[in-house]
Structure 1
Amino acid sequence: MKLILVRHPAPDVASGICYGSSDVAVAPHILAAARASLLASLPANLPVYSSPLWRCAGLAQALARDLPASQFIQDARLAEMDFGDWELRAWQDIARGEIDAWAFDLAHYRPGGGENVLAMATRVAAFLDELLREQHAAVIVICHAGTIRLLSALQAGLPLAETALLAASGAHKIAYGAVVTLDFQRPIVTPAI
């Protein structure tokens, strides 16, 4: 199955803010530009899956209508990681000790008391496993950089704790509105932790 992953357009939030699972908006002109660009390159008549967060769902709804999509489904398992008390705070205002604690244990530490990367990996893997059972030839998924990183890491077929570390290691280079295509030739079995 081909997964055509699209990162949401740039949200209407100041640079340097941790916004993870916060439902931040996208300016109408940014949304329109992303929509126009993607319409020219995405195939029609495929299922469209989306994170329910507006920065993804707004684009996904428009694309599902315009392409048209064979079906449109919002799935909470595609949402970005929940950073708890860090949400909508400037990264520079988060205590250095907390950020260091997360860097020391990327898979298990819960930033701001929110979700850890392993928990996010578990829900993204559950989404992928279900999607693979549906046996589509290809799907479009509008989601977040963290979700794209995890879906990419799941291709390795590693245990989930290792998948989480693989996805969380290093800075990502997935631009807003970028398209990343993955090909899963066979079902991926992700062993338990």
Structure 2
Amino acid sequence: MQVFLIRHPRPTIPAGICYGQLDVECDDPVPIAERLRPALPPGTPVISSPLRRARGLAEALDPNVRIDARLCEIHFGDWEGQGWDAIDRSALDAWAADVLNYMPPNGESVADLQRRVLDFADWLEQQTLPNIAIVAHAGVLRVLVGHWRQLPAEVWTQLPFEFGSLTEVTL
């Protein structure tokens, strides 16, 4: 199966804001869809996070998009909507010291995100499709690529994915 991993367009919020599962608008997805469409085989089904910034691009690629909540970005809990510089420095240091297991207040850990996304990956790997496109978030894409390429956590948690980018993986 050929998997096309697509990151959503740039959110239209001020730089430096923690937005995780905050459902924010994004740049116009239509030009990005027009740029990406030729890279997708005709008839490629699209699965998307339900968050607007991913869903809008997915719908521009395929009006029959399937929505899957397991593809939501990490939930930063009480940090959502705050400036990163307004979050307590000791909390950010604690997170940096244990990236996988630290949980922001009322949020989820990267390990929680990983479990949720790997549940989706297990389901996807059982499908008999020749190809599929997934429109999601950097955290989700990191988990998927890390899993499929068998990367250690210290590598996959740092993988870069540009807004509107496409990454191909063969399963």
User: Which residue in 2 is equivalent to 1:189?
Assistant: none
Deviating 4+ runs (over 3 angstroms): none
Cα distance in 2, alignment partners of residues 156 and 48 from structure 1: 22
Preserved contact between residue 3 and residue 168 of structure 2 (Cα < 8 Å): yes
User: Which residue in 2 is equivalent to 1:190?
Assistant: none
Identify which of 87, 90, 99 aligns with 2:83: 90
User: Which residue in 2 is equivalent to 1:15?
Assistant: 15
Write the mapping of 1:59-98 to structure 2, written as runs, cut at 5 A. Answer: 59-65=57-63, 72-98=65-91
User: Which residue in 2 is equivalent to 1:175?
Assistant: 162
User: Which residue in 1 is equivalent to 2:110?
Assistant: 117
CA RMSD of aligned residues (A): 1.6
Cα distance in 2, alignment partners of residues 103 and 61 from structure 1: 35
Cα distance in 2, alignment partners of residues 100 and 21 from structure 1: 21
User: Which residue in 2 is equivalent to 1:24?
Assistant: 24
User: Which residue in 1 is equivalent to 2:3?
Assistant: 3
User: Which residue in 1 is equivalent to 2:36?
Assistant: 38
Amino acid at match of 1:175: E
| TM-score between the two structures when normalised by the length of structure 2 | 0.93
Shift of 1:35: 2.0
Amino acid at match of 2:162: A
Cα distance in 2, alignment partners of residues 73 and 149 from structure 1: 21
Give the SS at the match of 1:112.
Answer: coil
| TM-score between the two structures when normalised by the length of structure 1 | 0.83
Which runs of no fewer than 5 residues in structure 1 stay unpaired? Answer: 66-70, 185-193
Which runs of no fewer than 5 residues in structure 2 stay unpaired? Answer: none
Cα distance in 2, alignment partners of residues 45 and 179 from structure 1: 17
What is the aligned length? 171
Cα distance in 1, alignment partners of residues 34 and 105 from structure 2: 37
Cα distance in 1, alignment partners of residues 107 and 85 from structure 2: 18
Cα distance in 1, alignment partners of residues 65 and 72 from structure 2: 16
Cα distance in 1, alignment partners of residues 31 and 44 from structure 2: 21
Cα distance in 2, alignment partners of residues 140 and 18 from structure 1: 26
